[in-house]
Amino acid sequence: MRLIFLFMLMGFQLFAQQSVVDGVVKDAQGQPLPFVTVSLKNTKNAIITNADGYYKLTKIPHGEHILVFSAVGFQTLEHKFTVNTSSKTINIQLEASSKELDEVTVKATAQAKVQETKPLSIKSIEIKDVVSQTVLLTDVLDKISGVRIRRSSSLGEASDISINGLRGNAIRVYIDGIPMEFMYPSFDISNLPLGNIKRVDVYKGVLPVDVGSDALGGGINIITEQKAYNTFKASYNIASFNTHLTDINLGLANKKNYFLNASLGYNYSDNNYKMRALVYETNKYEQVKRFHDTYRFLYGSITVGTHSKPWADEFRLSLNLSGGDKELQNGARITNTAIGEAKYTARNLSAVLKYEKSFLNEKILLRTLGNYTDQSLKFVDTTTNVYSWSGSIVGKNQAGEYYLGNTINYTQGLTNRTSIEYRINDKHKLLLSNLYAHQKLTGVDYLKESGERDYLTIPQYLTKNIAGLQYEGLFGEKTTLSGAIKKYDYMLDGAENNTFALVKKNGNFWGWNMGAKYNFSENTFIRASFERGYLIPLFTQFVGNGGDILRNTDLLPESSDNLNVGISNTHKISDNIQLSTSLSGFYRQQYNIIYLGSSVFRRYENADQVRTLGGEGDVSVWYKRAVNLKANLTILSKTFTAVLDTRNNYLIGTAFPNYPTTFGNVELSWLKANFLSPKNQIRFYTFYNYIGAFNHILVAASNSPTTTPDAYVPVQHRVDLGCSYKLSKQNLTLSFNIQNLLNAELYDNFLVPKAGINFNGKLIYEINNF
């Protein structure tokens, strides 16, 4: 039946011939105009011109249409045209206007803004807006209200992501809708080069069925960019601690709508920053330099494809090859001795196939995205040496600093997400989506004696299938409602690591969500969403990662009730001042919460019931589109509400450990156009981050930072400073940033010290439409 349905859909293509319209927008003097909104009248098909004034609109049905060109400071122009071929070029000249357009109207067409006005709670960021002051993707996300990202130490370590009370693997990361844990099982979100990322959507609660999987109450979707025109972009970043990050992206296209994109990225750092630690020889706390923490990562990708064909709106095939290695300096916590020799190496090959086609004049849209991954992870920890934080060997012990290991794990995975969107009319639509993911893990333990049974050679399988049906509709002109049901299925097939007994676990259950939004006016709305969500444990949570995380095949799925409510307003106070504000509240009730134990021999376990109540607020003020002040604050309470073991009754009402409860950011920036030379642009900014004190271990209700300071991470204040200068004629952007300007004591996950004052400089070269 599925094949018959697909053939029927493909038959509809005869009724849906489509074209591409592109061109360049210039002013009366013939200079290209960036940031012009180009839209197909009476549709949602719109784009903003790039730095060279270039635009390209796709999926335009044959026939007569009207293009609308609008920009601040210029008269709006409507251009009527007819299209009956596969492509058409329309170049436009705009006349200056003494009266500016409503800035809100212009901004509303940006995809990031469209995302943020949906019934679901979403924060969307265009990477091009922040790339000059940002080194890592995690730096971008960590500045969003309600979001905290921490690592167990330095660059290259896994990131712990928390959103509105949920953290760790309860927050899923996706790349174009494919779960990252299946595409890159052992790599971290901070590894991803910024060069080919277009946008990042942060969902602070409910995820739509064509993005989400078994995320418990939030997720991050990374949207990559495959440009269908000639482009070249390269960036190089040099920073403290011998840190180097570079990425190169090349895009080639022809008039027949075929394209090729190639990307290359490389990250390296010694991570040899200074920190306070107990030195074994002196038995005193001293400032020491991390000495066994080198990290390197190499990434390459090539994509070929086509778009705007009768048989496909977009078709592309990508091959990604990546690898890296990391020396381990510490475990989850800083102990009295350092790790001086343990390390891991990972390699990953990933192939991605995407097909997209609309039918019946875009009433039906079919998307399918498939991924195959083959990855290896080698972990070596065999030394008997004991290292002091001074870097010296101070003794001998049993082999293994983390735990004894010389292993290699192989992971193969197959993932597919297929979605069909049906637009009933302009106000109502249905969305059906299915995610299938399958992983196989095998390995070799090189320390096993000849003839001794090796557990790692026993194949372990994990399969997930998550199907969802979603409805969204506009009632009247002000009310938008959405709702979805989801069916979860999973199966684990393998063996227990101590007894070698065969283990087969499977489960299935239903979840649902709903959302509502009401527009008081064009610039003010309220929204609310609720979800009964489920979290199927990750493959590595069930069976470990072959390195520092052990197996726990008795792990149970986690569930949660999630509620988000909020109000947002954008107000133009005067011709020079615009104010945007938002205020949100959230509630989370988690059951069988999954957490990573903090002992040296770590494994994922189920904890007790935990409740989170909190709120967050954002404010942004623009003055003459030159000065911008942004601030946000998040306050929450995350406490135990029930315990499984009656001996732990004292925990009820106490704070859940290792979770920041008060944090916020303030950023002030100044942007000057035509600085020193026409079309050049300079920007200065200063950034402040505050994190209140919180307990990093279990504490009783009577404890506080004053009575038991060692149980708490102290208050943290971070100040950054930076500037960037864009030379339009030379296609160059230069930036320089100072992080932790005041050299404050900052901490990462489980009280691991972060770096003091550090510096980075960045060079970006970009040329388009050559």
Got the DSSP string for 601-618? SEEEEE--EEEEEEEEEE
Q: Do residue 92 and residue 193 come from a single domain?
A: no
Which residues are CB-neighbours of 89 under 8 A, at least 6 positions away?
21, 22, 23
- Span 515-534, pLDDT tens digits: 999 999 888 999 999 999 88
Final residue belonging to a domain, choices 79, 107, 135: 107
Rg of the chain (C-alpha set): 27
Segment 226-285, tens digit of pLDDT: 776 788 999 999 999 999 999 999 999 888 889 999 999 999 999 999 999 999 999 999
CB 552 within 8 A of CB 604: yes
Q: What dihedral do alpha carbons 644, 647, 650, 653 form, nearest 10°? A: 0
Contacts of 307 (CB under 8 A, 6+ apart): 20, 58, 228, 257, 259, 313, 314, 315
Task: Name the nearest CA neighbour of 402 among 448, 344, 325.
Answer: 344
Shared domain for 56 and 163, answered yes or no, is no
Q: Look at residues 680, 577, 563, 576 and name the one whose alpha carbon lies nearest to residue 620.
A: 577
Tens-place pLDDT, residues 33-76: 877 889 888 787 888 887 678 888 888 888 889 999 987 667 88
Rounded to whole angstroms, the Cα distance separating 388 from 385 reads 10
CATH of the domain at 41: 2.60.40.1120
CB 504 within 8 A of CB 492: yes
Residue 518 DSSP SS3:
strand
- Report the amino acid identity of residue 98: S
Write down which residue in 107, 124, 153 finishes a domain.
107
Residue at token pair 């049901």: 485
The answer for residues whose C-beta is within 8 angstroms of residue 645's C-beta and 6 or more apart is none
Same domain, 247 and 98: no
Structure-block tokens of residue 687: 């950034």
Residues 496 and 604 in one domain: yes
With 0-12 CB in 10 A as exposed, 13-18 as middle and 19+ as buried, what is 82? Answer: exposed
In residues, how long is the chain?
A: 770
Token pair of 459, please? 């194949």
User: pLDDT band at 382, cuts 50/70/90?
Assistant: very high
Q: Which of 50, 81, 107 is the last residue of a domain?
A: 107
What phi and psi, each to the nearest 5 degrees, are found at residue 3?
Answer: -65, -40
Lowest mean pLDDT among 78-82, 101-105, 495-499, 647-651: 101-105
pLDDT of residue 744: 96
Cβ-based neighbours of 425, under 8 Å, separated by 6 or more: none
Q: Which pLDDT band, with edges at 50, 70 and 90, does 111 fall under?
A: low
Position 698 scores a pLDDT of 85
Nearest one of 144, 286, 164 to 753, comparing CA atoms: 286
Question: Do 254 and 357 fall into the same domain?
Answer: yes
C-beta separation of 667 from 685 below 8 A: yes
Give exposure, 612-634, as e/b (b: 16+ Cβ within 10 Å). bbbbbbbbbbbeeeeebebbbbb
Which of these ranges, 101-105, 240-244, 328-332, 451-455, has the smallest mean pLDDT?
101-105
| Cβ-contact 587, 563 below 8 angstroms | yes
CB 713 within 8 A of CB 680: no
Same domain as 532, residue 550: yes
Confidence of residue 728 (pLDDT cuts 50, 70, 90): confident
Contact indicator for 241, 759 with CB cutoff of 8 Å: no
Query: Contact at 8 Å (CB) between 553 and 542?
Result: yes
Shared domain check, 92 and 151: no
- The reply to whether 489 and 452 lie within a common domain is yes
Same domain, 100 and 116: no
Tell me what the pLDDT averaged over the chain comes to. Answer: 87
Contacts of 99 (CB under 8 A, 6+ apart): none
Residues 53 and 180 in one domain: no
**CB 393 within 8 Å of CB 383:** no
Q: What is the structure's pLDDT at 54?
A: 84
Residues 368 and 437 in one domain: yes
Same domain for 536 and 499?
A: yes
- Which DSSP string corresponds to 661-710? -EEEEEEEEEEEES-SSTT-EEEEEEEEEEE--EESS---TT--TTT-GG
Give me the mean pLDDT over the 552-561 stretch.
84
Q: Could you give the number of structural domains in the chain? A: 2
CATH number where 360 lies: 2.40.170.20
- For residue 562, the model assigns a pLDDT of 93
Q: Residue 98's pLDDT is what?
A: 42
Give the domain range for residue 45.
2-107
